[in-house]
Amino acid sequence: MAETSQTAPDSGTEAIAAEKAAPGCHKVHPILVASNVTREFGGLKAVDVEHVEIPRGAITALIGPNGAGKTTLFNLLTGFDNPNTGAWEFDGTDLAGVPAHKVSRLGEVRTFQLTKVLGRMTVLESMKLGARHQTGEHFWAALFPFIWRSQEKANEKRALELLDRFGLLAKKDDFAGSMSGGQRKLLEMARALMCNPQLVMLDEPMAGVNPALKQSLLGHIVGLKDSGVTVLFVEHDMHMVHTIADWVIVMAEGRVVAEGTPDVVMEDPAVVDAYLGSNKDRDLGDVINGIRSSRKRKVDVSDIDIQRDEEVLDAQQEAVEAAQELGESGDSQAVVDDAADAVATDDKGKDKA
Ligand SMILES: Nc1ncnc2c1ncn2[C@@H]1O[C@H](COP(=O)(O)OP(=O)(O)O)[C@@H](O)[C@H]1O
Ligand SMILES: [Mg+2]
């Protein structure tokens, strides 16, 4: 664990940390506690986190240079990837080895750095799919149309409420693929809320979003906290981090290298010199693009993210179509077979992810 110099904790630190702010410090009310989490890719330790705790009820920003391991850590903590070592608890429940669909059912949901165009689905269908997936409805539940239909009604009501809240109600019958990048980011956030999560993890929610929508997204993130939801987000825009984060965790080369309130961490000379440079007041996205173009990367992680999303989403679509067929035809055996196939494909997609 790299040590960074910390100035005296301010009052914000006292409310969140149970001890002096430092990498891996204990929190007063942690919602997520992870220890010795490592993930290697061909000899490279993408994640090497000795200990980290995410404070409950607060907005925590996870920052650090590109390739620091932020997305990989998200993937591990949400069951989209398996670690080489490590254990973590979400709200007191041991989550190591628990697959993504069960993690989201327990109240921990995430969004992806790159949103996938849900070409074949309308905005409303995509929202309902969020609930279906998140609540972990089993294919056999579709055998009893009365259960399925009342659940559908409740899901639709919640979906419409959330679309309204995110200013997307007028778009409910549009294909999700026809929306702008920013609107898709909003849709993704709204979709994540379909299952009433306790912790929402947002991977670069502002990437590719125009300034007007950024403002709206910012408002929604603060709104989440106001409604009691814990937020952990990855962001390169240092101005945004400073504006809304209660706590900042800095990662570099797979490790947590600094933690504290934005005022302390982002003014810490060691952090600024090593990770933020003279650009601490700028949008770090620009800086990163510079680094990216000057560095040859063997693996384009963007492609991997898109592929993974495609596999999972295609399988979800199949499951929904199978269940819909049952509602219409009542031919149980054929639909059970289809649904079982769809679920099997879904799990396969997750294993690969
Ligand atoms: N699926 C993968 N296969 C191989 N290497 C990967 C994979 N995913 C991430 N990496 C590597 O792990 C490191 C951390 O990546 P990532 O977690 O995406 O960083 P960040 O989100 O902080 O930019 C990078 O060096 C990246 O190239
Ligand atoms: Mg990333």
Query: What is the side-by-side order of every strand in the sheet holding 30-41?
Result: 44-55, 30-41, 85-90, 93-94
Given this model, what pLDDT does residue 135 score?
Answer: 43
Query: Which 8-state DSSP code applies to residue 280?
Result: T
Tens-digit pLDDT profile for the chain (353 aa)?
444 444 444 456 678 999 999 999 999 999 999 999 999 999 999 999 999 999 999 999 999 988 999 999 999 999 999 999 999 999 999 998 899 888 988 999 998 876 665 667 899 988 888 775 444 455 666 666 676 677 788 889 999 999 999 999 999 999 888 888 888 889 989 999 998 899 999 999 888 788 888 888 899 999 999 999 999 999 988 888 988 999 999 999 999 999 999 999 988 887 877 676 644 555 544 444 443 343 333 333 343 344 444 444 444 454 444 444 444 443 333 443 444 344 444 444 444 43
Both tokens assigned to 236: 């390169």
Given this model, what pLDDT does residue 180 score?
Answer: 84
Does residue 13 have its Cβ closer than 6 Å to ligand 1? no
Element (H, E) at 328: helix 301-329
Does residue 291 have its Cβ closer than 6 Å to ligand 1? no
Domain ranges for the chain: 30-117+197-300+310-324, 120-178
First to last CA, the chain: 29
Does residue 75 have its Cβ closer than 6 Å to ligand 1? no
Topology classification of domain 30-117+197-300+310-324: Rossmann fold (3.40.50)
Strands 30-41 and 44-55 come out as antiparallel
Does residue 301 have its Cβ closer than 6 Å to ligand 1? yes
Give the ligand whose atoms come closest to the C-alpha of residue 304: 1
Closest protein CA for atom 4 of ligand 1: 41
Distance from the alpha carbon of residue 265 to the mean position of ligand 2, in angstroms: 20
Give the ligand whose atoms come closest to the C-alpha of residue 296: 1
Given this model, what pLDDT does residue 119 score?
Answer: 66
pTM as predicted: 0.75
Given this model, what pLDDT does residue 112 score?
Answer: 83
d(CA 66, CA 291): 8
CB 78 within 8 A of CB 202: no
d(CA 322, CA 217): 34
Q: Which of 299, 303, 306 to mutate to test the pocket of ligand 1 (most atoms within 8 A of CB)?
A: 299
Strands 59-63 and 230-234 come out as parallel
Give the ligand whose atoms come closest to the C-alpha of residue 63: 1
The burial of 118, by beta-carbon neighbours within 10 Å (0-12 exposed, 13-18 middle, 19 or more buried), is given as buried
Given this model, what pLDDT does residue 118 score?
Answer: 65
Distance from the alpha carbon of residue 304 to the mean position of ligand 1, in angstroms: 9
Residue 75 CA: nearest ligand 1 atom is 17
Given this model, what pLDDT does residue 296 score?
Answer: 34
Angle between helices 123-134 and 145-165 (to 10 degrees): 120
Closest protein CA for atom 18 of ligand 1: 71
d(CA 77, CA 69): 12
**What DSSP assignment string belongs to 137-205?**
--GGGGG-HHHHHHHHHHHHHHHHHHHHHTT-GGGTTSBGGGS-HHHHHHHHHHHHGGG--SEEEEEST
